[in-house]
Amino acid sequence: MRNNIILECMITGERLYLTSKNKRNNPEKLKLKKYSPKLRKKAWFVEVTTK
């Protein structure tokens, strides 16, 4: 079962990206390097837990 997750920038705290992941295959938090418009460069984005 795939769940939608939100990615938040570790530096600026902005939540820009929405993606999905399979929690059964990847139980750990997702961490991706994506583009941040505020920084105008790539930064690390981590999965945010939602209620």
Domain spans in the chain, listed from the N-terminal domain onward: 2-48
CATH class of 2-48: mainly beta
| pLDDT on residue 51 | 60
Is residue 48 predicted with pLDDT exceeding 70? Answer: yes
pLDDT digits (tens, 9 = 90+) for 8-31: 999 999 999 999 999 999 999 999
| pLDDT on residue 1 | 83
| pLDDT on residue 29 | 94
**Predicted structure pTM score:** 0.87
Contacts of 23 (CB under 8 A, 6+ apart): 1, 3
